[in-house]
Amino acid sequence: MEQNIAVGLDIGTTKIVAMIGRKNDYGKVEILGIGKSKSLGVHRGVVNNITQTIQSIQLAIQEAEAAAATKIEGVTVGIAGQHIRSLQHSDYITRPNSETVIDDDDIDRLINQVHKLVMLPGEEIIHVLPQEYKIDGQAEIKEPIGMYGGRLEANFHVVVGQVSSIRNIGRCVQSAGLTLEGITLEPLASANAVLSQEEKEAGVALIDIGGGTTDLAIFRDGIIRHTAVIPFGGNVITEDIKEGCSIIEKQAELLKIKFGSAWPGENKDNEIVSIPGLRGRDPKEITLKNLSKIIHARVVEIVEQVYVEIKNYGHEEQKKKLIAGIVLTGGGSQLKHLKQLVEYITGMDTRIGYPNEHLAGDSDDTITSPLFATAVGLVMDGLKRQDRKKAEAKIEEAIQAQEEAVIAQEEATQAEAEAEIEKIEPPKKQRKSFLDTLTDRVKDFLDNAE
């Protein structure tokens, strides 16, 4: 596999997508190949059959490899599922010496303290995202590094999940013959693919309606403020149509895609669609009005649950208002008249989010569908991770070169050589993101479990 290529693997409830991409000369992401397979063994974003999931991953990977004519080794995987929840937490540390400036180590100490929070059995902290800092009571500080102070305080957005579910995903990836390069929260990946920086600054809620779950990510002032996973998605709508019209699931899914609408007033009473009966039985006739009534009832329920989460974040407070409104993405966002329904229920401006913000201009229309928002976001994440590794490698090389230069001056006096070594600036420590730490922990667990 070429070094500058990244692979995103979106393990969803209805489909598994493998996407291969690289950066072009203009810094945009160029998609080289895409493979997708029906997702078997995943329910509401959580793996419940390892063998079937491995087979589905392998099928998607093979298709992507054939399309891009390249071999895939490492992948960046997205995690979601109903076990993901988030909470707000404040914590502080007292610094031993307030005469020195605050550095990375102080922030690491503060973040590590948050990691000691007691969770429910089986749950673990996945992500600790600092919101804003306070130094000696002075509030609303975005970047505390380099400032003086004795007491460093911060509000954190803490994302929590079932560690066994995350390990199961790691296990599936490894058993499919791939290496796990990184783990990313799916709402964050989708947000990176479809939101602009201006929207994140102004305040925006991203709603990703998938097959089994609906993910929510709220941004304000460029920082993620709230995440939630609602255990309903497009599948429950299909299930309702199946039950309400007494037809098989395949027909229900087709009906939803072709004729479904979230707004019942749209259809006239005499619009009827005929569905072939099973094995010689008479065909069934279904009115489109009834169909959209079934869809409307369930969609309203999903949107209202999401709106409760937006209100929990505090959208109704003037300071926390989401000026950019709502962005809908994911396969479920393609339902007709959904945008109008969401605007009607929430009273917020709404648009459909297409992942073309960071893609190369000549990208295929199928790739820029909201269906692939998460996969595009995962590819972008993989490319970012590679850039970080390259930057770290360059720093290492520079230090090594400096040290070698000092050793080469052995004929100079020992005192001079020591003075030279002292002049070498220690490398700036790159703080690991928590998803990198989580990836390392999952890798260690899988290596030890062999």
Please, are residues 299 and 340 in contact by the beta-carbon 8 Å criterion?
no
Tokens of 280: 């010689």
The mean pLDDT of the chain is 87
pLDDT for 417 equals: 55
pLDDT for 411 equals: 59
Check if 85-162 and 196-356 are the same fold: no
Tokens of 113: 């303290």
Multiple choice CATH, 85-162, 3.30.1490.110, 3.40.50.300, 3.30.70.1290, 3.30.470.20: 3.30.1490.110
pLDDT for 265 equals: 78
* Dist CA 218 CA 326 (whole Å): 9
- Has domain 196-356 been given CATH number 3.30.460.10? no
Based on the number of CB atoms within 10 Å of its own CB, is 193 exposed (0-12), middle (13-18) or buried (19 or more)? buried
pLDDT for 362 equals: 75
pLDDT 10s digits, 158-182: 988 888 888 899 999 999 999 999 8
All residues at 6 or more sequence positions from 316 whose CB lies less than 8 Å from its CB, including other chains: none
* Dist CA 334 CA 213 (whole Å): 15
pLDDT for 415 equals: 60
pLDDT for 392 equals: 86
Q: How far is CA 225 from the centre of its chain?
A: 14
* Dist CA 441 CA 113 (whole Å): 18
- Write the single-letter amino acid at 418: E
Taking CB atoms within 8 Å and a gap of at least 24, the contacts of 279-285 are: 284/245, 284/246, 284/247
* Dist CA 192 CA 219 (whole Å): 11
Tokens of 112: 């590590």
Tokens of 1: 């596999």
Q: What mean pLDDT is predicted for residues 14-43?
A: 90
pLDDT for 357 equals: 80
pLDDT for 323 equals: 94
Please, are residues 299 and 338 in contact by the beta-carbon 8 Å criterion?
yes
CB atoms within 10 A of CB 196: 14
- Write the single-letter amino acid at 5: I
Res 142 pLDDT > 60: yes
pLDDT 10s digits, 309-358: 999 888 888 888 999 999 999 999 999 999 999 999 999 999 999 998 88
Q: What mean pLDDT is predicted for residues 92-114?
A: 90
Res 126 pLDDT > 90: no
* Dist CA 46 CA 105 (whole Å): 36
- The residue among 65, 86, 78 whose CA lies nearest residue 2 is 65
Q: What mean pLDDT is predicted for residues 406-426?
A: 63
Tokens of 330: 């994911």
pLDDT for 296 equals: 94
- The residue among 128, 70, 77 whose CA lies nearest residue 382 is 77
* pLDDT band for position 281 (cuts 50, 70, 90): confident
Q: What is the pTM of this model?
A: 0.86
Res 400 pLDDT > 70: yes
pLDDT for 447 equals: 78
pLDDT for 425 equals: 56
- The residue among 46, 49, 22 whose CA lies nearest residue 33 is 22
pLDDT 10s digits, 370-390: 999 999 999 999 999 888 888
pLDDT for 85 equals: 84
Tokens of 367: 């790739």
Domain ranges of the chain: 85-162, 196-356
**In terms of DSSP bridges, do strands 179-185 and 74-79 run parallel, antiparallel, or are they unpaired?**
parallel
* pLDDT band for position 21 (cuts 50, 70, 90): very high
* Dist CA 186 CA 8 (whole Å): 11
Query: CA torsion angle for 288, 340, 329, 388 (degrees, to 10)?
Result: 180
pLDDT for 430 equals: 61
SS3 content of the chain, % helix, strand, coil (to 5): 40, 25, 30
Please, are residues 326 and 344 in contact by the beta-carbon 8 Å criterion?
no
Which run of H or E residues covers position 183?
strand 179-185
Res 75 pLDDT > 80: yes
Res 237 pLDDT > 90: yes
Return phi, psi of residue 266, to 5°.
Answer: -65, -40
Q: What is the number of alpha carbons within 13 Å of residue 18 lying toward its C-beta? A: 29
pLDDT for 431 equals: 62
As a whole-number percent, the residues of the chain with pLDDT over 70 amount to 93
Please name the residue that has the structure tokens 């779950």: 213
Q: How far is CA 297 from CA 53, 79, 231, 286, 302, in A?
A: 32, 29, 16, 17, 9
Which run of H or E residues covers position 8?
strand 5-11
